[in-house]
Amino acid sequence: MSNDVSFLDLKSGYLELRDEIDDAMRRVAESGWYIGGPETKRFERDFAAYCEARHCVGVGNGLDALHLVLKAMDVGPGDEVIVASNTFIATLLAVSMVGATPVLVEPDPATHNLDPRLVEAAITLRTKVILPTHLYGQPADLDPILDIARAHGLLVLEDAAQAHGARYKGRPIGAHGHAVAWSFYPGKNLGALGDGGAVTTDDSAIADRVRMLGNYGSQQKYVNAVRGVNSRLDPLQAAILAVKLRHLDRWTAHRRHIAAFYLDRLAGTALVLPHVPNWAEPAWHLFVVQTPERNAMMAMLAERGVQTLVHYPIPPHRQQAYADLGLGKGTFPIAERLADTVLSLPIGPHLSMEQAERVAAAVRAASPS
Ligand SMILES: *Cc1c(COP(=O)(O)O)cnc(C)c1O
At residue 262, the pLDDT reads 98
For ligand 1, atom 6, name the residue with the nearest CA.
62
**pTM of the predicted structure, to 2 decimals:** 0.98
Distance from the alpha carbon of residue 30 to the mean position of ligand 1, in angstroms: 31
Give, to the nearest 10 degrees, the angle between helix 38-51 and helix 18-31: 140
- Does 235 have pLDDT greater than 70? yes
Residues 270-312 pLDDT 10s: 999 999 999 999 999 999 999 999 999 999 999 999 999 999 9
The CATH number, out of the four listed (3.30.750.200, 3.40.50.300, 3.40.640.10, 1.10.3720.10), of the domain defined by the range 11-245: 3.40.640.10
Q: What is the CA radius of gyration of the chain?
A: 21
- What is the per-residue pLDDT for 367? 87
Mean pLDDT within 171-178: 98
- Nearest-atom number in ligand 1 for the CA of 64 is 9
- Of all atoms in ligand 1, which is nearest to the CA of residue 94? 10
pLDDT at residue 368, rounded to an integer: 72
Binned at pLDDT 50, 70 and 90, residue 3 comes out as confident
**How far is it, in rounded angstroms, from Cα 146 to Cα 114?**
13
Q: For residue 197, what are the contacts with CB-CB under 8 A and spacing of at least 6?
A: 58, 59, 60, 61, 62, 63, 64, 65, 181, 182, 183, 184, 231, 233
Q: What is the Å distance from ligand 1's center to 22 Cα?
A: 26
Residues with CB under 6 A from ligand 1: 61-63, 87-88, 90-91, 133, 159, 161-162, 183, 185, 195, 197
Which of 319, 354, 356 is CA-nearest to residue 335? 319
- Residues 30, 102: Cα–Cα separation, whole Å: 45
Residues of the chain with CATH 3.40.640.10: 11-245
CA distance 186 to 285: 12
pLDDT (mean) for 13-32: 97
As its CATH architecture, domain 248-366 has Alpha-Beta Complex (3.90)
Q: Across all residues in the chain, what is the average pLDDT?
A: 97
Q: Degrees (nearest 5) of the Cα angle 68, 72, 198?
A: 40
pLDDT at residue 2, rounded to an integer: 64
Which residues belong to CATH 3.90.1150.10 in the chain?
248-366
Would you list the DSSP string of 171-234? EETTSSSSEEEEE--TTSSS--SS--EEEEES-HHHHHHHHHHTBTTEEETTEESS---B----
The residues with which 127 forms a beta bridge, in sequence order, are 80
Tell how far the Cα of 235 is from the centroid of ligand 1, in angstroms: 20
Q: In this model, does residue 13 exceed pLDDT 60?
A: yes
Binned at pLDDT 50, 70 and 90, residue 1 comes out as very low
pLDDT in tens, 332-365: 999 999 999 999 999 999 999 999 999 999 999 9
Give the pLDDT of residue 369: 62
- Measuring from atom 2 of ligand 1, which residue has the nearest CA? 161
| Bridging pattern class, strands 80-84 and 101-105 | parallel
The alpha carbon of 11 and the centre of ligand 1 are apart by a number of angstroms equal to: 20
